[in-house]
């Protein structure tokens, strides 16, 4: 049925069976007439027509009577009585008539074969007398999740997976990808890491009516990776291991003439490998060309090293700063699904290169529409949890936030390199007790900027609930039984730490863990929670979010540094309006440890420095 | 359930409940160890480890034992016996371990509110311990088709609609558009043009659980257009008539606090009006920003006149010729659905202008991805039915054809203006009996071109089945009882006609209907079929497709004229390969009236002209 054909693929070319329109159709409301009866009509020589005699009332879309060949618009007749009217303008033949076949003619091709039907085209098909359509069968894919550590999400109605257990979601993502290219996916129950069970599942799949079987995962060299062995025993392994990263341990095989894919287990590997090897198979089965993501050209925000000998897929954040699109690489961990969900695009670094220099022009495959990139404000600098709230508040304004956490100093340097719209910074000048301005002048020179106050926030020690190591002050950081977790050089929090260590006369080298660096407040908190360290410095909100204790050390000033050239940009104006709203401030206060009295105020440059 | 959340819109921000990973996880297959047990290991100072004592076998993705903090890769151990092995390299703490929260930490925002969930993000949610998601209710839309002339497509299992009846498809298209923005559509049975029935349907709709009611159509001034009156009686008409074209007779109203739209009846008007007024309402109901189509800048292929006082939506074909994207306007008839299905984009001409000049830069909203535009070969010139076959044969090569039928001469002029890749031409030089080359030199000057032979084809008279007017030759065209249908000036078929009229000594002014022009062979055929004319000139295939009779007059040569600069373009190379395939030639022959002996051959320029 054509009614259900949207998104389906035509199996053969479709030719109109009926012309459109298939009868001479009134294009206006009025009266159908013979045009020759109107010849000679003019303002000084009106012609009289009579309903039923030589004029027939008609509405748009209806067939004109056989003998007629034009329609007088209702607006252009002057009624003399109920049945007779005058006209003051002649009609040419076929005026205000949609003639048979005006749109298309029976026998013309409406759609070629192997074409994805749109809603518009359903209309064209129906108006061409096509009520049933021969479409290509949806390729059916069996997705087999394997792994003894896996638990199905629907088995977790209450509570989280036990320690050591992981929620299986790769096949849910793959289902979506399969459906996005017009396939139909079935998720097999989780198969534990047992050779026979995996083998049985593959065999049952290929012997059923599936067109493709995907085993996820068990495709690398671990002691319990049975997929390759199972495929080999049942059929043939064509490829085991591909020169892409993530995605290296991919297996391509054939069992009983059906393709079987052994997909890698890390979520990012699983997705990228399936997009490279699985989706094109499904597209080819439907006679469709392989989908290519749209691309844009961007400038790399920093150097991206890559290993020779494999194609590396880098996830990047994108933002348009001035007239240049900037690509900032995200972490490369294949286990981190958010490196894909947060990504705006993917850079492929060819196998034969060792990486890409900073400020190089690169082709980026877009994961989001380029319009969304244009609507993105790029923030680089110090991390704060209020940035998440800000991102959420900007959505209704059709604005997006891309924030990269590289520390305050990194943010200022990004402004200098013109790779960000805003730097977030809380750099204390210990000589003056003032924040940011002296660093701005030192690191970004004479680029004119405004400083807009963000929030005041409490910094302190983050420790386990109950403070089991009884940490009370900076002097405790040099205790033998205390491990500290630090922030990276250039982070405002690290400047604050160093300042206080100096005040206390402590040599940083005495602090165990001073070399261990994290990039965000929450990472510091999680290092404490998971026993990597006993104490770290960070904001109250990070401690509170993870149920940790917090010992205040100082209140500091967290600001937005914005080049003047962006201040009048509509996106920036909206963003600054949003942070000044009571609604935003209220949400910030609810996090705890923040002050918003002066949020949104401009902080002028001090006159003497 | 997150498993079902793809495409749904988050109602509130979503924060991770679980860190990812939520335990320290082996990132490699190998042995979990305490890193300090490996300090000092080197090629000359291997360190001995023992399974169960200070090393524990582990696979990727599993939790490392509590006391351990690093994983030795299986590749880097040298077994001494079954339980003991040596290593030659020390590990730093947390080497080959994915620490708790490496991807994200419990409490971090995974998704903001009012965000459309992707397959990737389903994975991120599940790994963050989110199994159920609060999503925004799908807006429900009732689509009420009205019109006594309408028949439902599913009532037409056999046979076509009776004369005067039209298949209802607007609500099928609108359903698709509603679903495309995340809404749910219900199609009401067709309501005849009766005031009370329409009123009842609207009232039942707003009193049910629909969020929006759309009446299609009955919104202009016809005697049976009851929609506005019905809305007015039930509630309030806010807007009746908008300054857009197509789409002018749109009605916006409110009944019992629910929005009701009276949508225009012409399919193109119906679609464009609903996209402008309906979809943004559905998006706003979900807290989503209005979707904007991506745009590109293109050059107009010809002048586009437009009326002052209304915004006009022009459908255009796009093609990239050289480095310029060319926009060629399609016919503007709002009743012609193919002006949308064939369109690549839409130009909006503002209400305050009278149109756009030729070769002006315009913003085009894209209906197809710009990658498809790049893969499109632009053909302008003479119409032939084999172009449909060619388009179909190119699909597997991921190539698209945009063909505009403006006659042979129009095609040559397009090459001169550099708005086409190929001109199709069958212009006979009556002095030499040769085709095309003399016209090429006259009309496109010294632009270097190649001429590739397309097909030989029979031209002749197209007449009704049985030839009721007994037309036998050109002398019959001047008979009083015979009406002719002509092709437009510049068409090769018209040149052929004029040549034969001259041979026969007939003054064209004696031919009744000589001034009536059509642009394609099939349009000529349909003019004959529908009684507009008794005879026209065209190709056999057009006559045969509509079951008409055909009297051969001449065999002519139909060629492709291609600027040399495009000859080596990969798209052109593929296209020329395709027309030389036996498969293509076989399909052409099946149409009837064609010769393909020299199809694909180059026709060199004659040395003397």
Mean pLDDT, rounded, of chain A = 91
Tell me how far CA of residue A187 lies from CA of A138, A341, B209, in angstroms: 16, 22, 34
3-state secondary structure of A368: coil
Q: Give the 3-state secondary structure percentages of chain B, helix then strand then coil, rounded to 5.
A: 30, 30, 40
Minimum-distance CB partner of A27 among B19, B176, B335: B335
* Chain A hits for B278, Cβ within 8 Å: none
Burial grade of A605 (CB within 10 A; 0-12, 13-18, 19 or more):
middle
CB atoms B20 and A337 under 8 Å: yes
CB atoms A333 and B102 under 8 Å: yes
CA atoms of B263 and B275, how far apart (whole Å) = 11
CA atoms of A479 and A498, how far apart (whole Å) = 17
What is the CATH number assigned to the segment(s) A2-21+103-127? Answer: 3.90.105
**What fold, for A377-609?**
D-Maltodextrin-Binding Protein; domain 2 (3.40.190)
Least confidently predicted of A120-129, A284-293, A579-588, B269-278:
A284-293
Minimum-distance CB partner of B29 among A27, A114, A222: A222
What is the CATH number assigned to the segment(s) B295-374? Answer: 2.40.340.10
DSSP classification of residue B20 = B
Q: At residue A223, does pLDDT exceed 60? A: no
* Chain A hits for B180, Cβ within 8 Å: 119
CB atoms B24 and A530 under 8 Å: yes
Q: At residue A218, does pLDDT exceed 70? A: no
CB atoms B112 and A370 under 8 Å: no
pLDDT digits (tens, 9 = 90+) for A352-362: 988 898 889 99
pLDDT digits (tens, 9 = 90+) for A335-353: 899 999 999 999 999 999 8
CB atoms B173 and A105 under 8 Å: no
* Chain A hits for B59, Cβ within 8 Å: 222-225
3-state secondary structure of A501: helix
Q: What is the pLDDT of residue B431?
A: 86
Task: Give the closest residue to A421 by CA, choosing from A570, A289, A261.
Answer: A570
Average the pLDDT over A85-101 and give the result: 89
Q: What is the pLDDT of residue A175?
A: 97
CB atoms A222 and B25 under 8 Å: no
Structure-token match 């996820």, residue found: A216
Residue extent(s) of CATH 2.170.190.11 domains in chain A: 25-98
* Per-run averaged pLDDT (10 residues), chain B, 609 residues: 93 92 89 92 92 92 90 92 92 87 86 93 95 96 93 81 88 96 96 93 97 83 74 94 89 96 93 96 91 89 87 93 90 88 94 88 93 91 89 88 87 92 93 91 92 95 95 93 92 90 92 89 86 92 87 93 96 97 95 93 84
CATH number of the domain at B375-609, out of 3.20.20.70, 3.30.1300.10, 3.40.190.290, 1.10.645.10? Answer: 3.40.190.290
CATH class label, B25-98: mainly beta
CB atoms A392 and B109 under 8 Å: yes
Task: Give the closest residue to A343 by CA, choosing from A271, A409, A397.
Answer: A271
Residue extent(s) of CATH 2.40.340.10 domains in chain B: 295-374
Cβ contacts of residue B158 below 8 Å, gap of 6+? none
CA atoms of B217 and B224, how far apart (whole Å) = 10
A361-366 and A295-300 strand pairing? antiparallel
Residue extent(s) of CATH 3.40.980.10 domains in chain B: 140-285
Higher pLDDT, A522 or A199: A199
pLDDT digits (tens, 9 = 90+) for A150-172: 999 888 766 788 878 889 999 99
Q: What is the pLDDT of residue B221?
A: 53
pLDDT digits (tens, 9 = 90+) for A106-154: 888 899 999 999 999 999 999 999 999 999 999 999 999 998 889 998 8
CA atoms of A302 and A414, how far apart (whole Å) = 10
Q: What is the pLDDT of residue B96?
A: 93
Structure-token match 């005006």, residue found: A102
CA atoms of B507 and B123, how far apart (whole Å) = 77
DSSP classification of residue A57 = E
Minimum-distance CB partner of A546 among B106, B115, B391: B106
DSSP, residue by residue, A515-545: T-EESSHHHHHHHHHTTS-SEEEEEHHHHHH
Q: What is the pLDDT of residue B398?
A: 86
pLDDT digits (tens, 9 = 90+) for A495-542: 899 999 998 999 999 999 999 888 888 889 988 988 889 999 999 988
Residue extent(s) of CATH 3.90.105 domains in chain A: 2-21+103-127
CA atoms of B592 and B584, how far apart (whole Å) = 14
- Chain pair A-B, CB pairs under 8 angstroms: 328
| Cα of A232 to nearest chain B Cα, Å | 22
**Which of A303-312, A577-586, B425-434, B524-533 ranks highest by mean pLDDT?**
A577-586
How many CB atoms neighbour CB B1 within 10 A?
11
CATH class label, A299-374: mainly beta
pLDDT digits (tens, 9 = 90+) for A427-437: 999 888 899 99
Q: Are B177 and B281 in contact (CB under 8 A)?
A: no
Q: What is the pLDDT of residue B117?
A: 96
Percent of chain A at pLDDT exceeding 70: 98
φ/ψ of residue B426, rounded to 5: -145, 60
CATH number of the domain at B140-285, out of 3.20.20.370, 3.40.980.10, 2.40.30.10, 3.40.50.2300? Answer: 3.40.980.10
CA atoms of A71 and A28, how far apart (whole Å) = 7
Rounded to two decimals, the ipTM of the complex is 0.87
Provide the whole-model pTM: 0.87
CB atoms A546 and B131 under 8 Å: no
Residue extent(s) of CATH 2.40.340.10 domains in chain A: 299-374
Cβ contacts of residue B46 below 8 Å, gap of 6+? B78, B86, B87, B88
Tell me the two tokens of residue B160. Answer: 């076509």
Catalogue the E-assigned strands of A361-412.
361-366, 376-381, 400-405
């Amino acid at each position: 049925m054509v009614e259900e054909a949207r998104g389906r693929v035509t199996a053969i070319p479709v030719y109109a069976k009926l012309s459109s329109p298939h009868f001479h159709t009134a294009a206006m409301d009025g009266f159908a007439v013979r045009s020759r009866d109107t010849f000679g009509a003019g303002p000084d020589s009106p012609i009289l027509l009579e309903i039923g005699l030589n004029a027939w009332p008609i509405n748009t879309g209806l067939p004109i009577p056989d003998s007629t060949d034009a329609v007088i618009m209702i607006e252009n007749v002057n009624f003399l009585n109920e049945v007779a009217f005058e006209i003051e303008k002649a009609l040419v033949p076929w005026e205000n008539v949609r003639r048979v076949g005006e749109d298309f003619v029976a026998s013309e091709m409406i759609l070629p074969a192997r074409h994805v039907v749109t809603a518009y085209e359903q209309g064209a098909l129906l108006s061409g007398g096509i009520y049933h359509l021969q479409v290509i069968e949806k390729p059916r894919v069996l997705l087999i999740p394997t792994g003894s550590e896996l638990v199905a999400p629907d088995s977790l109605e209450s509570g989280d997976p036990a320690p050591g257990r992981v929620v299986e979601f790769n096949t849910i993502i793959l289902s979506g990808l399969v459906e996005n290219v017009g396939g139909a996916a079935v998720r097999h129950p989780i198969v534990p890491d047992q050779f026979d069970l995996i083998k049985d599942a593959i065999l049952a799949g290929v012997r059923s009516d599936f067109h493709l079987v995907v085993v996820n995962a068990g495709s690398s060299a671990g002691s319990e990776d049975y997929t390759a062995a199972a495929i080999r025993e049942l059929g043939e392994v064509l490829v085991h291991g591909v020169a892409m990263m993530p995605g290296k341990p991919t297996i391509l095989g054939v069992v009983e003439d059906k393709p079987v894919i052994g997909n890698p287990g890390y979520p990012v590997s699983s997705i990228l490998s399936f997009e490279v090897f699985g989706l094109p198979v499904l597209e080819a089965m439907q006679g469709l060309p392989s989908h290519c993501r749209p691309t844009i050209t961007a400038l790399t925000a920093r150097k991206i090293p890559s290993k020779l000998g494999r194609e590396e897929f880098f996830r990047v954040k994108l933002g348009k700063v001035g007239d240049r699109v900037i690509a900032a690489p995200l972490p490369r961990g294949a286990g981190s699904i958010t490196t894909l969900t947060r990504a705006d695009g993917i850079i492929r670094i060819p196998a034969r290169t060792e990486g890409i220099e900073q400020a190089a022009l690169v082709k980026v495959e877009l994961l989001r529409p380029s319009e969304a990139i244009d609507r993105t404000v790029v923030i680089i600098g110090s991390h704060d949890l209020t940035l998440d709230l800000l991102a959420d508040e900007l959505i209704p304004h059709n604005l997006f936030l891309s924030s990269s956490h590289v520390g305050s100093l990194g943010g200022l340097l990004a402004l200098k390199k013109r790779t960000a719209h805003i730097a977030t910074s809380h750099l204390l000048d210990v000589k003056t007790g003032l924040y940011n301005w002296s660093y701005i002048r030192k690191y970004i020179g004479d680029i004119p900027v405004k400083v807009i106050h963000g929030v005041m926030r409490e910094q302190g020690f983050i420790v386990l609930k109950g403070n089991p190591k009884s940490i009370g002050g900076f002097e405790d950081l040099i205790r033998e039984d205390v491990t500290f977790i630090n922030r990276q050089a250039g982070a405002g929090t690290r400047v604050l730490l160093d300042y206080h260590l100096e005040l206390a006369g402590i040599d940083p080298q005495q602090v165990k863990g001073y070399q261990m660096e994290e990039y965000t407040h929450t990472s510091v908190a999680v290092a404490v929670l998971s026993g990597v360290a006993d104490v770290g410095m960070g904001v109250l909100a990070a401690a509170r979010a993870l149920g940790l204790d917090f010992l205040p050390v100082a209140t500091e000033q967290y600001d937005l540094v914005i080049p003047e050239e962006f201040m009048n940009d509509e996106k920036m104006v909206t963003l600054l309006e949003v942070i000044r709203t009571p609604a935003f401030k209220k949400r910030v206060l609810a996090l705890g440890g923040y002050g918003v009295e002066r949020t949104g105020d401009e902080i002028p440059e001090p006159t003497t420095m």
